[in-house]
Chain A
Amino acid sequence: MNKKHGKQSIVFASPPQVAAAATIVGPMEGEGLLAAYYDKILEDNSGDQDSWEKCESYMIEWAMSTAVKKSGLTLEDVDYILAGDLLNQLMATHFAIRSLGRPFLGLYGACSTMAESLIVGAILLDGGFGGHVLAGVSSHHDAAERQYRFPTELGVQRPPVTQWTVTGAGAVLLKAMAGNDPRVTTATIGKVVDVGLKDPNAMGPAMAPAAAETLWQHIQDTGRQPAYYDLIVTGDLGVVGKTLLIQVMQEKGLDISANYQDCGCMIYREEQDSHAGASGCASSAVVLCSHLIPQMKAGKLNKLLFIGTGSLHSTTSYQQKESIPCIAHAVSLEM
């Protein structure tokens, strides 16, 4: 049976379900809009570890073990771990998974990795290759700053279009067994889209066309209109990228403004001075795991389209004056 629909989408035959989800965040996120929903808030940015990178590893490990614990299973029941982060060679993920001791596939989709890992995990489960998949991502503001931008103590002024990398991690435990939990019903795998923007400070605007492309293709492939969903969320387009996505969809003749939100605009308060919102792998992950999935389980949200957005540049590529290639993957969760 062919589960592929249209050009880029998958409709799962026996939709895998979300057994449990867990989140951990840094102190700044812990003072933000979703403060009440996170499982754990660190007291400082180091989490009692001696480097930012170790702190990030600790967070992803904590989120993954907690998701497993919440579902009442043990790590032994997990058939595969799918995870990734923003650091070179997936440093945070690899050191975290080392101690979890389960079969592991590392994924890199920059900030789209949460959606990517959910899609690959759902494919594995729907294909009958296992019973449980653990999918998770992490990012750390200071670890990302020192890799992509400047040392954290350098006195620089950030342009207003920049976004603030989220310190945090989120993990989802997917199961193949049927139950009364949110189901992963469809997915649309994105293509790399590059509209030629070069400013690494403006990642939301660079990623919005990729999100538009994937959303458009999802609608074509599945025949669902934007109004089909209670909520469409993108990962980390930020204030500016969000406005641009609405404009691009409007040009295509689709109005999404009624039921569209961006995770990057749901984390920080205005006075926290994050500028254009949140970004990073954890931006979409902590909103999905702490807020959206629990809302679905509580029956307040029935049909969700989750679009992870990633900007695939590197420090080398922007120093060589290349433009920013971007990607977006969509996955629908339904009760």
Chain B
Amino acid sequence: MPQAGGAGDDRYFNKWYEAQYNQVKPKPPLVKNMLWAFVVGGLICVIGQVFANYFVDMGLSKKEAGVPTTIVMVFLGAFFTGLGVYDELGRRAGAGSVVPITGFANSVVAPAMEFKREGFVFGVAAKMFVIAGPVIVYGVTTAVLVGLIYWIRH
């Protein structure tokens, strides 16, 4: 009979318990989550495409249209975070609203809003990148590495 080990050193009990836990652990509703992610992620991309087409119609090249489209999408992500809508969206859509660039805007604006009460220097400015910071650090590092490989090979 397993005993709840006093200091938690009963390995037999711990193993048995972990197995029990894995059995009763609720599984995420995969199909529902994927459907939400697909629809919301897809819609965000459609909105982006509409703006990209608009900028091409304005006379920009396809490549140039990427920059103003990104600016608009980042603005929309930040705007809906400010309205308190984006977290509700993310709760249901998961990666569908995290992966597009609007999710990146959300990850910067959310902590900036949350820590406003700690002041503009140590609150807003210092905490702004607590979530996005790692993405920027590893994103830039990867870009430099890939750039180096490209430069050496050509």
**Contact in complex: B8, A194 (CB < 8 Å):** yes
**Complex formed: what's the CA distance from A151 to B111 in Å?**
5
Residues of B within 8 A of A239 (CB): 26
**Complex formed: what's the CA distance from A154 to B80 in Å?**
11
**Contact in complex: A216, B4 (CB < 8 Å):** yes
The listed residue (A50, A155, A210) touching B117 by CB distance below 8 A is A50
Interface residues of A in 132-156 (CB under 8 A from B): 146, 150-156
A191-B6, A240-B26, A252-B1 known; A153+B20 contact, CB < 8 A: no
Interface string of A238-253 (1 = CB under 8 A from B): 0110011001100111
- A interface, by DSSP: helix, strand, loop or mixed? loop
Q: Report if B91 contacts A (CB, 8 A).
A: yes
The interface-forming segment of B54-62, B102-110, B136-144 is B102-110
Interface string of B111-150 (1 = CB under 8 A from A): 1011101000000000000010000000000000000000
Q: Report if B152 contacts A (CB, 8 A).
A: no
Residues of A within 8 A of B93 (CB): 155, 157
Could you tell me the distance in whole angstroms from the C-beta of A161 to the nearest C-beta in chain B? 6
A50-B117, A152-B114, A155-B98 known; A209+B87 contact, CB < 8 A: no
Interface residues on A, range: 35 or more
Residues of A within 8 A of B42 (CB): none
Residues of B within 8 A of A205 (CB): 21, 25
**Contact in complex: A197, B21 (CB < 8 Å):** yes
Which residue on chain B has the smallest CB distance to residue A251? B2
A156-B91, A195-B18 known; A151+B110 contact, CB < 8 A: yes
**Complex formed: what's the CA distance from A161 to B103 in Å?**
24
Could you tell me the distance in whole angstroms from the C-beta of A196 to the nearest C-beta in chain B? 5
**Complex formed: what's the CA distance from A333 to B107 in Å?**
47
Q: Report if A158 contacts B (CB, 8 A).
A: yes
**Complex formed: what's the CA distance from A156 to B107 in Å?**
10
Q: Report if B94 contacts A (CB, 8 A).
A: yes
A160-B26, A197-B21, A244-B20 known; A151+B6 contact, CB < 8 A: no
The listed residue (B14, B25, B107) touching A240 by CB distance below 8 A is B25
Q: Report if B27 contacts A (CB, 8 A).
A: yes
Interface residues of B in 73-102 (CB under 8 A from A): 81, 84, 86-95, 97-98
A50-B117, A240-B25, A251-B1 known; A153+B91 contact, CB < 8 A: no
**Contact in complex: A150, B131 (CB < 8 Å):** yes
Residues of B within 8 A of A263 (CB): none
A194-B8, A195-B14 known; A154+B21 contact, CB < 8 A: no
**Contact in complex: B17, A51 (CB < 8 Å):** no
**Contact in complex: B4, A248 (CB < 8 Å):** yes
Which residue on chain B has the smallest CB distance to residue A275? B26
Interface string of A25-40 (1 = CB under 8 A from B): 0000000000000000
Interface residues of A in 177-197 (CB under 8 A from B): 191-197
Could you tell me the distance in whole angstroms from the C-beta of A63 to the nearest C-beta in chain B? 24
Q: Report if A213 contacts B (CB, 8 A).
A: yes
**Complex formed: what's the CA distance from A252 to B1 in Å?**
7
**Complex formed: what's the CA distance from A84 to B90 in Å?**
33
A160-B28, A240-B26 known; A151+B113 contact, CB < 8 A: yes
**Contact in complex: A153, B25 (CB < 8 Å):** no
Residues of B within 8 A of A289 (CB): none
Q: Report if A307 contacts B (CB, 8 A).
A: no
**Complex formed: what's the CA distance from A244 to B24 in Å?**
8
Using A155-B86, A251-B2 as known contacts, list a sample of 19 further A-B pairs with CB atoms less than 8 Å apart, ordered by residue number in A: A151-B111, A151-B113, A153-B81, A153-B106, A154-B107, A154-B111, A155-B97, A157-B93, A160-B28, A193-B4, A195-B14, A196-B14, A197-B18, A202-B21, A209-B17, A240-B21, A240-B25, A240-B26, A243-B24
- 14 A-B pairs in the complex with CB atoms less than 8 angstroms apart: A50-B117, A151-B113, A153-B106, A157-B93, A193-B7, A196-B14, A202-B25, A205-B21, A209-B8, A244-B24, A248-B2, A251-B1, A252-B1, A276-B26
Top 3 nearest A-B pairs (CB, nearest first) are A155-B90, A151-B114, A194-B8
